[in-house]
Structure 1
Amino acid sequence: MTTARAPRNRRRILIIALAGVALIAVLLIASLTRPGQEEPDATATAPTGQQTPSAEESEAPRVPDLSRRIDGDVAALGAVDAPVVMIEYADYRCPYCGVFALDTMPQLVADYIDTGKLRIEWRDVPLFGEDSFNAAVAARAAGQQGLFWEYHHAVYAFQGDSRKDLPREQLLTLAEEVGVPDVAAFETALDDPALQQAVAADAQEAQAIGVQSTPAFLIGQTPVMGAQPIDVFRQVIDGELARVGE
């Protein structure tokens, strides 16, 4: 059962997550921005012809290894010991994040994850308000019942090419659609402080390295901004595989 206090707590956690480390972001934002590149707005994808440099070509400052490699992490795909980890920073109400999830990610799964070369780790960046935050919690709630990625894709399929609202009723409907076994437990988990704090921790990490738009990626040590064409991702992943000797 929802308490009257839960929405306030979510807003408080979201505000802290997005504002708590702003000074660090100023220091590290260069790690995700190539010289001469303007920061994209929150929904912009990079031009189709833009090429992200490979690991060898990039002159951008390197960022720390932020991969978690946690065995059993419901918000990750691929082997824990895969040679390259791609971290995705994204928002469930971002249309361009949906383009990556529905169009690009399946190709990467077939080409790199299923062959043991790549691991994808998801990070929540709820830029577009409380509905974004609640959807992130909902995906983790579905993950508790083994359906994180099914729910993840269902949210983006529902969004389509627009930014739709995601009220609690819609989150419950999506849970039923993907076959969450215990919808009552799922609804209870929507108010779980531990899941809310997990979303907030992801948002703090993103803020700390200067992520100001979604989607954003760290592939090994190489940043990629926006829902780039599949060939850009292949170029960077292959470059990172070569860098680590795979």
Structure 2
Amino acid sequence: MSPTKKNTTQAPNLSKQEKRIAAQARQKQKNRIFMISTIALVVILFAGLFYLASRESGSSKTAEFDYSSMPRLGKEDAPIKLVEFGDFKCPACADFTRLIKPQIVEDYVDQGKAALYFVNMSFIGPDSTTASLAALSVYHQNNEEFWKFYDAIYANQGVEAEEWATKDFLVNLAKQEKLSIDYDLLSKDIENKTYADELEQDNDLANENKVSKTPSLFVNGEKVLDPFNYEAIKQVIESADKAVANP
């Protein structure tokens, strides 16, 4: 009996050139897969960055403010309205007051082109609230003196982790700056939390406009992404000025 033949299929006997061509084809396929994966990863990365930038800017919707209820530096009818959100215990806010605010005042506020407004935020510590209540008391007594007090608090700012903005400190600071206000009323307003509801409204306003850090700056309702980039601030202001001139 002859041996049974097995039903097997043998691989073709490829030449060296054919093997090389096959290897090159496999490598090209790998390269295509790698390129497609890389492009997909880049697209995902840029989509993520765009999403974060959108969140950072808060919203494409222009913020709306009741400017009449805020401390104001400059002419009431100034066409450009800048709104700063700040916490008196915030070291970065003190830097903004020292480095950026003077340039805004010189270039725009003093020229009658813009007015600067302030919104109190109180999220760093309990004495953030105390400082804000004191500032609101001064504002309701005398808007011009508010800005002197504003500068004085930041110029004498204590360590962020320490509770330094006490009632006594703030009243004494107002006296030291010789503010034209009633110091006894200031003390009572702090102690009685006279403007607690107004401060809560300020904090609510920050939440409504997705303000999650201080300082934050808005120009005619448009949020400035970097409040420490003065050239960028100028561009937003000039753009807003053109929009007002050519509605």
TM-based fold match above 0.5: yes
Q: Give 1:177-196 correspondences, 5 Å limit.
A: 177-180=176-179, 181-196=181-196
Partner of 1:171: 170
User: What is the rounded CA distance, in whole Å, between the counterparts of 1:34 and 1:130 in structure 2?
Assistant: 36
1:156 to 136, 154, 165: 154
SS at match of 2:115: strand
Q: 1:34 to 1:187 in 2, by over 3 A?
A: farther
SS at match of 1:79: coil
Partner of 1:128: 124
Q: Kindly state the Cα deviation for residue 121 of structure 1 after the two structures are TM-superposed.
A: 1.3
Which protein is bigger by CA-based radius of gyration?
A: 2
Q: 1:194 to 1:188 in 2, by over 3 A?
A: closer
Q: Which has the higher contact order (CA 8 A, sep 6+)?
A: 1
Partner of 2:64: 65
Q: Kindly state the Cα deviation for residue 103 of structure 1 after the two structures are TM-superposed.
A: 2.0
Q: Kindly state the Cα deviation for residue 35 of structure 1 after the two structures are TM-superposed.
A: 3.8
User: What is the rounded CA distance, in whole Å, between the counterparts of 1:124 and 1:153 in structure 2?
Assistant: 14
Give the AA of the match of 1:196.
A
Count of aligned pairs between the two proteins: 193
User: 1:193-221, CA deviations, whole angstroms, 9 ceiling, x for partnerless residues?
Assistant: 54121111111010112111111111113
User: What is the rounded CA distance, in whole Å, between the counterparts of 1:201 and 1:225 in structure 2?
Assistant: 23
SS at match of 1:223: strand
Q: Are the aligned partners of 1:96 and 1:226 in contact in 2 as well (CA < 8 Å)?
A: no
User: What is the rounded CA distance, in whole Å, between the counterparts of 1:168 and 1:69 in structure 2?
Assistant: 28
Q: 1:170 to 1:34 in 2, by over 3 A?
A: farther
Partner of 2:217: 217
The answer for unaligned runs of 5 or more in structure 2 is 1-48
SS at match of 1:36: helix
Q: Kindly state the Cα deviation for residue 191 of structure 1 after the two structures are TM-superposed.
A: 3.3
Partner of 2:134: 138
Partner of 1:83: 79
Q: Give 1:7-46 correspondences, 5 Å limit.
A: 35-37=51-53
With structure 1 as the length reference, what TM-score do the two structures score?
0.70
Give the AA of the match of 1:131.
D
Indicate whether 1:114 and 2:110 are aligned.
Answer: yes
Partner of 1:105: 101
Partner of 2:240: 240
User: What is the rounded CA distance, in whole Å, between the counterparts of 1:196 and 1:179 in structure 2?
Assistant: 25
Give the AA of the match of 1:244.
V
Give the AA of the match of 1:173.
N
Q: Kindly state the Cα deviation for residue 128 of structure 1 after the two structures are TM-superposed.
A: 0.7
Aligned CA-pair RMSD? 2.6
User: 1:97-137, CA deviations, whole angstroms, 9 ceiling, x for partnerless residues?
Assistant: 11111221122111111111111111111111210011011
Structure ranking higher in helix proportion? 2
Q: Are the aligned partners of 2:133 and 2:193 in contact in 1 as well (CA < 8 Å)?
A: no
With structure 2 as the length reference, what TM-score do the two structures score?
0.70
